[in-house]
């Protein structure tokens, strides 16, 4: 019984190490942690009314599956070599409405329309970069989103030792 209670507590949403922004209702998604590659691009689909329908992450040369709803206008933000996403600004109202991605090269990409409650996300330690996304979605789009951070040098070291 104690083992079951411990496992239930560890796997509950209360114990997530990373924070999710938005209402967070619906089906859960999480991009795979690719220890051999860092994020090299983001593809976001936006509805005509301006909320985020889906998101894809490119790790190395490979795109993840599309998380969310597979309709809407898609935009891509491809990173340059040694460029990393270091901060994210966004907003939500029922669905995620806006994302602005900032890189260590001073570049920025925006998706959607800025409406609702704002949030700012950056890593908890200097030098960490965006390595993944997670969240939840329903019939019309992404209802909640969170971000995974890690050090790019550690990810690169793992890739060269394989």
Domain locations in the chain as residue ranges: 30-161
Cα–Cα distance for residue pair 110/14, rounded to 1 Å: 30
How high is the mean pLDDT of the chain? Answer: 84
Residue 39 has pLDDT above 70, yes or no: yes
Is residue 89 within 8 A of residue 116, CB to CB? The reply is: no
For residues 45-54, give the mean pLDDT: 92
Cα R_g (the chain), whole angstroms: 16
Q: Which of 148, 149, 117 is nearest to 23 (CA)?
A: 117
Domain covering 30-161, topology: Vitelline Membrane Outer Layer Protein I, subunit A (2.100.10)
The rounded percent of the chain whose pLDDT value lies above 70 is: 81
- Local structure of 12: helix, strand or coil: coil
Residue 97 has pLDDT above 70, yes or no: yes
């Amino acid at each position: 019984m104690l083992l079951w209670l411990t496992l239930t507590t560890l796997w509950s949403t209360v114990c997530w190490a990373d924070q999710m922004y938005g209402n967070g209702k619906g089906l859960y998604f999480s991009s795979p942690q690719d220890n051999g590659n860092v994020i090299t691009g983001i593809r976001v689909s936006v509805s005509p009314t301006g909320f985020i329908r889906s998101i894809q992450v490119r790790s190395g040369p490979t795109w993840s599956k599309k998380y969310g709803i597979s309709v809407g206008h898609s935009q891509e933000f491809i990173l340059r070599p040694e460029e990393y996403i270091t901060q994210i600004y966004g907003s939500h109202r029922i669905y995620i409405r806006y994302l602005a991605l900032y890189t260590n090269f001073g570049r920025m990409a925006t998706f959607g329309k800025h409406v609702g409650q704002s949030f700012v996300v950056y890593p908890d330690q200097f030098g960490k970069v965006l390595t993944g996304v997670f969240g939840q979605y329903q019939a019309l789009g992404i209802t909640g989103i969170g971000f995974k951070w890690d050090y790019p040098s550690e990810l690169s070291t793992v890739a060269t030792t394989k």
